[in-house]
Structure 1
Amino acid sequence: MKNNVCLSLILCLLVNLAGYSQSAVFESLSFDSQKLGRKVSYSIYLPSDYNTSKRNYPVLYLLHGYTDNETNWIHMGQMKTITDRAIANEEAVPMIIVMPDAWDTWYVNQYDGKVPYEDMFFEELIPYMEKTYRVRSNQESRAIAGLSMGGYGSFLYSLHHPDMFCACAPLSAAVFDDSVMDTRKAKSHKDLFNRLFGPGDEHWHKNSVEKILSDWDENKLPNIRYYIDCGDKDGLLEGNFQVHQIMRQKNIKHEFRVRGGGHSWTYWRTALPEVLKFVSQTFSRS
């Protein structure tokens, strides 16, 4: 009798486990890029009901920072744990999160055409994700966010392609004015930034968040919700504050948060729940 009871309990447990779905993260997958002539690695988060439903999901492209890769949001940012919790608490909707590797490209097309990363992102990466996974392909279901270099990249992409995203959340974005860029091209990142932006200011101005915003036509405001977050001890705060002021002058709606903290994963881990909530609210409006 006791054995039968134990067996029944085990069977019930197995049935329950079989019906219980968990989210999944697949690290360092890749696809072949014709534009770059190499494989592009990416990691992806799939929500818990992905394998048990047939519906399509909104997508968040989550960009990494300088010297990082497609795995850092997972291991350092605790992305899966934070996203699982937000969805379970109904603070975020189930979504797919794509984390591509960008190496040290700063997400731009290199000035000499040798590494057209931005073209690859929009002409190959996004179509590949929409063909391979059940990703919704409309603007209202596509968001972008990132930290530091990835914050710059997310900002830049939202301005270069304002019809592609419904929400943009740059965290500690590496946005600079001309004077800071001139210093970096001359000293701290001389080889890198000269390789990316070339001599002179022409290509830099095409990719300068501040310059693009300053020149923005106020009669054609982007239909994008912005959430900008930077720590009060972050060396990039000044650039983020300047962008905030320009956006106010241009009447571009946005949220600007300055919280206690610096340029660190401790800060970005606390920012991610708010990003997920923000983009989910934007998805839900569509």
Structure 2
Amino acid sequence: MKKNLWIAVLITFLIGTKSHAQEALFGAQQITSPEIHDDSSVTFRFFAPTAESVQVTGDFLPTVKVETPRGMMDAPGKADLVKDDKGVWSFTSSSLSPELYNYSFLVDGLRSIDPNNPFLIRDVASITNIFIVGDGQAALYRTNDVPHGTVSKRWYDSPGLGMDRRITIYTPPGYEKSNEKYPVLYLLHGAGGDEEAWISLGRTAQIMDNLIAEGKAKPMIVVMPNGNVIQDGAPGEGSEGFYKPQFMVPKTMDGTYEANFMDIIKFVEANYQVKADKANRAIAGLSMGGFHTLHISRHYQNTFDYMGLFSAAIMPREDATGKVYSNFDETLKTQMDNGYELYWIAIGNTDFLYAANKEFRDKLDAMGMPYEYVESEGGHIWRNWRVYLTQFVPQLFN
């Protein structure tokens, strides 16, 4: 009797599974989008037979200038799709340079993801599709057939902030079986980001795997914290549950994060096989994370030998009242006098923070403080920050 019952349960399960699979199959559109051609042009398609207009927007298109609360900034352009007699709209780009690109559609003005492309990223509260074209620089963003590191989502105790907090940590290939101690890069996100940003938008794991496999980077641990001190984890991953991410949350740039950054270092050095000295610590960040990098490294003046400021948000702020911001010139000079291996600054030539970074470099020049400077094309975009990471990492711990 029991045998017959189990057979009946199994049959019911299989029928249900098959029905669900068929439902997913029939619900899917049999359209290829994006389609990457041999000449590196890309065709986008969207089925919308009743729509009046469909456009595609993304960072593969020429940028346009738009007015924002932060001033004039570069924004992705738009291109019109053309509808065929089956209700499928399409657009084919020009040949694209090797890169990871993002895009979305505008259907009668309403933003939509591509239902035929399941590969998505979240940037603050915006969801866009992604695709990769070509080799070269783009090959660093692919998951290639090389030894892979491990990405862990850990929780650490932050006594200074009074909570357990979520953190993303990359360990290099072979770490689990090794007794070796490794250097550490602390990699900080920008405003609106969290502990998911660098691993998702920045392709950090793929970049590290590929650089290490090519012998261009030393095996290292990469620590990606959450710089929003009022959160214990990214939206949807912490105790606050599901809520819409914000570009700026309270207390992100008031000194609280910098003042409690040693909680992160203490956790890493107590729980991982690391070389716990200045020569084996690096810190870098983009935009707000560059601001944090500047002040953390200056406040803890003998802690890091390598600093990377990627499009750093160096600007006056009314809420920057924390103790870590005091005695700026004196502590910066002390950092210089203590010595370091690399102070690296990079920014795009149309970035809205370009002038502020130029002013900061003028200060360093007047002080005689050594640094390396990289100026790229483009503005305040992830395309630049991924490239900066691939340029910065090979210079570490040599």
TM bracket, shorter-chain basis: 0.7 to 0.9
The one-character-per-residue Cα deviations of 1:149-202 (angstroms, maximum 9, x if unpaired) are 0011011111111200000001000001x4xx4xxx4xxxxxxx3xxx3xxxxx
Bigger CA radius of gyration: 2
Paired amino acid for 2:151: V
Deviation at 1:119, TM superposition (A): 3.2
Q: Which residue of 2 aligns with 1:119?
A: 259
The answer (yes or no) to whether the contact 1:218–1:250 under 8 Å persists in 2 is no
Q: What pairs up with 1:57-96 in 2 under 5 angstroms?
A: 57-96=182-221
Structure 1 residues 248 and 205 mapped into 2: Cα distance closer, same or farther (>3 Å)? farther
The answer (yes or no) to whether the contact 2:299–2:331 under 8 Å persists in 1 is no
The secondary structure found in structure 1 opposite 2:268 is: helix
Deviation at 1:117, TM superposition (A): 2.7
* 2:386 pairs with one of 265, 269, 272: 269
Q: What pairs up with 1:33-182 in 2 under 5 angstroms?
A: 33-103=158-228, 104=249, 105-106=251-252, 108-109=254-255, 116-122=256-262, 124-176=263-315, 178=316, 181=317
Q: Which residue of 2 aligns with 1:26?
A: 152
The aligned length equals 231
Moved over 4 A (4+): 214-220
Paired amino acid for 1:106: T
Structure 1 residues 21 and 272 mapped into 2: Cα distance closer, same or farther (>3 Å)? closer
The answer (yes or no) to whether the contact 2:186–2:223 under 8 Å persists in 1 is yes
Paired amino acid for 1:22: H
What is the RMSD of the two structures over their aligned residues, measured on CA atoms? 2.2
Structure 1 distance, partners of 2:223, 2:334, is 32
Deviation at 1:277, TM superposition (A): 1.2
Structure 1 residues 107 and 161 mapped into 2: Cα distance closer, same or farther (>3 Å)? farther
Higher strand share: 2
Which consecutive residues of structure 2, in runs of 5 or more, have no partner in the other structure? 1-145, 229-248
Structure 1 residues 57 and 148 mapped into 2: Cα distance closer, same or farther (>3 Å)? same
The answer (yes or no) to whether the contact 1:213–1:247 under 8 Å persists in 2 is no
Which consecutive residues of structure 1, in runs of 5 or more, have no partner in the other structure? 1-19, 110-115, 186-192, 198-202
1:258 maps to 2:354: no
The secondary structure found in structure 1 opposite 2:180 is: coil
TM (norm. structure 1) is 0.75
Higher helix share: 1
Identity, in percent, stands at: 32
Q: Which residue of 1 aligns with 2:143?
A: none
Deviation at 1:212, TM superposition (A): 1.7
1:242 maps to 2:359: yes
Deviation at 1:271, TM superposition (A): 1.1
The answer (yes or no) to whether the contact 1:173–1:240 under 8 Å persists in 2 is yes
Structure 1 distance, partners of 2:178, 2:335, is 42
